[in-house]
Structure 1
Amino acid sequence: MTADSPATDRRQRRAYRVRRGAPYAFLLPAGVLFVLFFALPIGYAGYLSLRRVEVQGLGLGSGARQEVWAGLANYTDALTDAELLDGALRVLGYGLLVVPTMLGLALLFALLLDAERVGGRRFSRLVIFLPYAVPGVIAALLWGFLYLPSVSPLHYGLDRLGLPQPDLLDGGALFVALANIAVWGGTGFNMLVIYTSLRAIPAEIYEAARLDGCTQAQIAWRIKIPMVTPSLVLTFFFSVIATLQVFSEPTTLRPLTNGIPTDWSPLMKVYQDAFVTGDIHAAAATAVVIAVVILVLSFGFLRVATARTRQEGLR
C-alpha cells in the first residue's frame, strides 16, 4: 500500500495539471486567431499611424522615398481634416434617420408578433428577418436600381400616372435612400432580439395584468417595453456602431450618381487615402481615430445604461 502511494500521488498531480490546463488548451485556438487577425492588425495600424513617407527631390530613384517617424502629426492632420469632419456630420445625419426608425419598427414588429391571436408568426418572422440575410452590397445594388430613374419600375409607374418623379440619389433625398437600405436590412435582426426577450417574459405577469383590467395596449406599454429595455439598449449599441461604420451602401451606390463624394463617410475617407491616394499612414491614423471614437461612445452608452439599470433595481 505504501509502495504504491508515490505513483498514485504522481498520477493525481498529473491529472490535476491536465484538468487545470484543459480550459487554456480549449481557449488557445481562439486566442491565436484573436492575436493574428485582431490584435496584430490593430497594432500594425497604430505603428503605421506614427510614421510617414518623406520624399526627396522628384521622388525618383532608390532612396528617394523613405519612411520616417512622424509622431502625432498624422493624428493632428486627421483631426483638422475638413473632409473627415464633413463625412462625420453626414454620418451623424444618416444615423439620426436610421437608428430611431429601425429600432422603432423592430419594437413594433416584435410587439405585434407577440400579441395574442396573431396568426402566421413563423412566416412573419421569416419575412421580416429575411432582408438581414441579404449581403449589404447586394442590397445596395438592388435598391440602387430601384432608385435609378432610367430602370426603376417605381419611376415608370409614377411617370405613367403623371406624378412627379423624385431623384432619390441626389440632395437631401440621398440620406433617405441610404437610410432606407439600412433600415430594410437591419430591422429584422433587431426585431428578433427584442422578440426573443418578449417570449422570455413569464405568462403569469400577463395574466395578473389582465385580471387587473389592463388592455393589450397597456400591457405592451407598461409591462412589455420596460421589461425588454436591456434588449433595446443592446440593439441600440449595435445600431450605433453599424451606423458609424457605414461604408458598403454609399460605396456601392456611388457609380450610379454624382451626389456621393469619395469621402462621404469616414470609412470611405480611409479607403480613399489608403488605396487611391496611396497615403497608408494617414489612412491608419484616421482609422485609429474612428476606432477610438466608437470605443468611447460605446463605453459611455454602456455606463449610462448600467447606471440606469442599477437605479431601477434599487427602486
Structure 2
Amino acid sequence: MSTSTATGSRRRRHGAVSPWAPYLFVAPFVVLFLLFLVAPIVVAFVNSLFSRQSSGLGFGGSSIEFVGLANFVRAFADRDFLVGFPRVLLYGAVQVPVMMTIAAFFALLFDTALVKARRFFQFTVFLPYAVPSVIAALLWGFLYQPSVSPVLQFFESIGITLSPLASTVVLWSIANVALWSLVGINMIILFSALQSVPREMYEAARIDGAGEVRTALQIKLPMIAPAVLLTTLSSIIGTLQLFNEPQVLQTITSNIPSDYTPNMAIYATSTLGKDPHLASAMAVILGLATLVVSLLVLAANKRTTNRAGHGL
C-alpha cells in the first residue's frame, strides 16, 4: 500500500462520524425533558390514584390506600377549584390579545427607521421582564395601596378616587402586572423574527406604493406568523398557570382568596388542606385543560392558515 493511499485511509477513518453522535447531542435535552417534565407528570398522576385514610377515629394512625379516580371525582365536585377556570380564561381572553398587540406594535415600530436610539428603547421595554414576577407583584402592590401609593394619592388630590384592589377590578390589576412584565420578552421574540424577513420584500412593497402601516400589516405580520403563534401559545399556557402575582397580592387584600386561580387552589389544597393526593388530581386536571386549550389554539391557527392559503 502506498503512502498516499494509507494517508487517505486514515483521513477517512478519522473523519467518519459516529452513528451515535446525533443521539449524544440530543441526550442532554432528552434527559432534562424526562426528568423535569415527564417524571413530575407521571408522579402526580400516580399520586392522584391514592389517598391517606385514617383508622380508629383518627387515633389509630393512617395509611395510604389505592382509591382509583376518586380524587378526580372530588376535584370536579370542588366548586372553589372549578370556578378558577372561567376566571383565568376571562383573564387570558383580555390580557393575551392586549399584550400581543402591544408587543407586536413595539416590534414593528423598532423594525422601522422611525425610532432613533433603537437599542436604548428596546432595552427599556425589555427591562421589566428582568424583574422576577414576585418582585414585580410587590412593586405594583405598593402602587395599588392608597395609603402609600404616590400615584393614587395624586389622583385623589385632584378628586379622582381609584381602588385597584377592589373586588370588581382586582383581576385586571393582576393582568396589569403580568402585562408590564411580559410585553418585553414577546417584543424581543417578534423583533428577532422580523430580522429574518428579506428586506427586498419591503423595498418591493414601497415601490408598489405601500406605506409603513400597510407593509407592517400585510407583509411583516404574515411573515412572522410562526413567532406570533409561539408567543401567543406560551402566553395562554402562562395564563392558565397564573400563580405568582395573585399569590403576592393576596397578602395585601382580602379580595383574592386562597383558591382564586386553579394553581392557587392546588397549592392551598396541598399545604393548607394537607391533601397532596387531591392536589395531584387537580394538577393533572389543570395540565389536561392546558393541553386542550393549546390544541384548540393550534387547530384554530391551522384553520386560519388554510383559509388564507385557499384565498390566495
Aligned to 2:244: 248
Report the CA distance between 1:312 and its aligned residue: 3.9
Cα distance between partner residues in 1 of 2:14 and 2:66: 51
Contact 2:100 2:232 in 1 (8 A): yes
Letter in 2 for 1:289: I
Cα distance between partner residues in 2 of 1:127 and 1:210: 30
Report the CA distance between 1:247 and its aligned residue: 0.1
Aligned to 1:94: 91
Aligned to 1:4: none
The answer on 1:85 being equivalent to 2:82 is yes
Cα distance between partner residues in 2 of 1:149 and 1:246: 25
Cα distance between partner residues in 2 of 1:39 and 1:213: 52
Structure 1 residue matching 2:109: 3-state secondary structure: helix
The answer on 1:168 being equivalent to 2:157 is no
Structure 1 residue matching 2:148: 3-state secondary structure: coil
Larger deviation: 227-236 or 273-282? 227-236
Aligned to 1:35: 34
Which string of whole-angstrom CA distances, capped at 9 and with x for unpartnered residues, describes residues 23-52 of structure 1? Answer: 333433443333333322221111110111
Contact 2:84 2:260 in 1 (8 A): yes
CA pair 35-201 structure 1, distance change in 2 beyond 3 A: closer
Structure 1 residue matching 2:64: 3-state secondary structure: strand
Report the CA distance between 1:302 and its aligned residue: 1.9
CA pair 101-56 structure 1, distance change in 2 beyond 3 A: same
CA pair 209-266 structure 1, distance change in 2 beyond 3 A: same
The answer on 1:21 being equivalent to 2:17 is no
The answer on 1:208 being equivalent to 2:204 is yes
CA pair 13-275 structure 1, distance change in 2 beyond 3 A: farther
The answer on 1:272 being equivalent to 2:273 is no
Cα distance between partner residues in 2 of 1:296 and 1:160: 48
Report the CA distance between 1:275 and its aligned residue: 1.0
Structure 1 residue matching 2:20: 3-state secondary structure: helix
Aligned to 1:51: 50
Contact 1:237 1:298 in 2 (8 A): yes
Cα distance between partner residues in 1 of 2:178 and 2:64: 40
Contact 1:75 1:286 in 2 (8 A): yes
TM-score using structure 1 length: 0.89
Larger deviation: 297-306 or 276-285? 297-306
Report the CA distance between 1:112 and its aligned residue: 1.3
Aligned to 1:60: 59
CA pair 31-225 structure 1, distance change in 2 beyond 3 A: closer
Larger deviation: 258-267 or 43-52? 43-52
Report the CA distance between 1:218 and its aligned residue: 1.7
CA pair 231-55 structure 1, distance change in 2 beyond 3 A: same
Letter in 1 for 2:114: R
Gaps of 5+ in 1: 2-8
Gaps of 5+ in 2: 2-8
Aligned to 1:298: 294
Cα distance between partner residues in 2 of 1:13 and 1:44: 46
Contact 2:155 2:162 in 1 (8 A): no
The answer on 1:108 being equivalent to 2:105 is yes
Structure 1 residue matching 2:51: 3-state secondary structure: strand
| Residue number among 284, 287, 305 corresponding to 1:288 in the alignment | 284
Count, aligned residues: 302
Contact 1:147 1:169 in 2 (8 A): yes
Which string of whole-angstrom CA distances, capped at 9 and with x for unpartnered residues, describes residues 113-156 of structure 1? Answer: 11223211101110011111110000000000010111111122
Letter in 1 for 2:127: L
Letter in 1 for 2:113: E
Letter in 2 for 1:195: F
Cα distance between partner residues in 1 of 2:156 and 2:290: 44
Cα distance between partner residues in 2 of 1:164 and 1:217: 37
Aligned to 1:197: 193
Report the CA distance between 1:13 and its aligned residue: 10
Structure 2 residue matching 1:277: 3-state secondary structure: coil
Letter in 2 for 1:83: D
Which string of whole-angstrom CA distances, capped at 9 and with x for unpartnered residues, describes residues 145-204 of structure 1? Answer: 01011111112212333x232111122210121010011011111111111222222221
Report the CA distance between 1:99 and its aligned residue: 0.5
Larger deviation: 31-40 or 269-278? 31-40
Letter in 2 for 1:142: L
Which string of whole-angstrom CA distances, capped at 9 and with x for unpartnered residues, describes residues 76-113 of structure 1? Answer: 11122211121112112211221011001011111111
| Residue number among 152, 156, 159 corresponding to 2:156 in the alignment | 159
Instruction: Give the percent of matched residue pairs that are identical in Structure 1 and Structure 2.
Output: 41
Which string of whole-angstrom CA distances, capped at 9 and with x for unpartnered residues, describes residues 198-232 of structure 1? Answer: 22222211111111122222212222222222222
Cα distance between partner residues in 2 of 1:82 and 1:284: 17
Cα distance between partner residues in 1 of 2:282 and 2:106: 38
